[in-house]
Amino acid sequence: MTDNVAIHTQGLTKHYGKVEALVDLDLDIVPGEIFGFLGPNGAGKTTTIRTLMDEIRPTAGTATIVGLDTHQDSVEIRKHIGYIPGDLAMYPNLTGRDTLTYFSNLRGGVDWEYVDALADRLEADLSKKIGDLSTGNRQKVGIIQAFMNKPQVYMMDEPSAGLDPLVQREFQGMMKEAVADGATIFLSSHTLSEVQRVADRVGIIRSGHLVTVEGVQQLRSKAIRRVDLYFDGAPDASLFEPIDGVREVEVRNHHVSLSFDGQMEELLRVATNSQSLTLTDINSQEADLEEIFLTYYREEV
């Protein structure tokens, strides 16, 4: 089965002493997929990526990338990987171009025309020293570094950190093009709008446990939605709070805003049955990833 799986983990577990940073992670990510990996700070996202990169070794379980064992065959695997570590650090005394040259020499060369094209797209200045670059500009060099070998698998830990919205958009385009060519992207991110825009599936991790893995569309369709109700008077929040599936009720004057994943019928019944108030308008929209994310995190805290 590994033939058709770009990244595969089985019971992948990492403990730091008594701290369970990652517990029993089972994942299969197929070629041509962008897999969004979400979780709050300290949930185990970076631990997962560092384990896959063989920077740290699993306490239990195994993982393969392009069918090769992440520990035994790590050197071979790295020929096929582009990596952006979280909290990217590079050599401050080298220019961007020196840095890329250094890494390309370790890989037996790169296509410099492609590198320059990438630099143009991201508006990266490769002639400046890394130490003199701002966070975002440094990140651009990191991104070029990951893309320049046209790898099969991209491992990216918060790759958009510090990028301005225009460059973020360009970067998202680069990711989409890469998967269109058959590559696989493992994207750990806090930028939920970005994940929503590019990812095919997302995995949500909490306290080292994978909570769910689902397609972005499925997740959004079955997830809670935002409902806005407008009345001719000021309603009381306590009216809506007892309803099954209602969360985060906010009342501002005549406007009630709430998250809802229950039966719409029940909500409407309560909204229209009040004797003192009349429902004047209703607006419901599909939930975005941020809300889904927050829901998963609020549960079982």
Q: How many residues bind other proteins (CB under 8 A)?
A: 38
By CB under 8 A, residue 116 contacts other proteins: no
Q: Which stretch binds other proteins (CB under 8 A): 23-31, 91-99, 201-209, 213-221?
A: 91-99
Q: How far is the CB of 86 from other proteins (least distance, A)?
A: 9
Alpha carbons 2 and 189: distance in angstroms, whole number = 26
Please spell the DSSP secondary structure of 147-194, one letter per residue: HTT--SEEEEESTTTT--HHHHHHHHHHHHHHHHTT-EEEEE-S-HHH
Residue 275 burial (CB count, 10 A): 5
Q: Which of residues 135-164 bind other proteins (CB under 8 A)?
A: 142, 145
Nearer to other proteins, 116 or 200 (CB): 116
Question: What are the angstrom distances between the C-alpha of 99 and each of 86, 106, 145, 245?
Answer: 18, 11, 8, 53
> In the set 132, 232, 250, 281, which binds other proteins (CB under 8 A)?
132
Structure tokens at 3: 């033939």
Structure tokens at 6: 């770009």
Q: Taking the alpha carbons of 225, 230, 231, 237 in that order, is the dihedral positive or negative?
A: positive
Q: Which of residues 196-215 bind other proteins (CB under 8 A)?
A: none
Q: Under a CB-based contact definition with an 8 Å cutoff, are residues 239 and 294 in contact?
A: no
Q: Which stretch binds other proteins (CB under 8 A): 96-104, 115-123, 182-190, 239-247?
A: 96-104
> In the set 26, 76, 164, 181, which binds other proteins (CB under 8 A)?
76
By CB under 8 A, residue 268 contacts other proteins: no
- Amino acid identity of residue 97, one-letter, is R
Name beta bridge partners: 213.
Answer: 203
By CB under 8 A, residue 81 contacts other proteins: yes
Q: How far is the CB of 212 from other proteins (least distance, A)?
A: 27
By CB under 8 A, residue 88 contacts other proteins: yes
Q: How far is the CB of 254 from other proteins (least distance, A)?
A: 43
Alpha carbons 213 and 59: distance in angstroms, whole number = 23
Q: Which stretches of the chain bind other proteins, using CB under 8 A?
A: 46, 50, 53-57, 75-76, 78-79, 81, 83, 85, 87-95, 97-99, 101-103, 105-107, 129-132, 142, 145
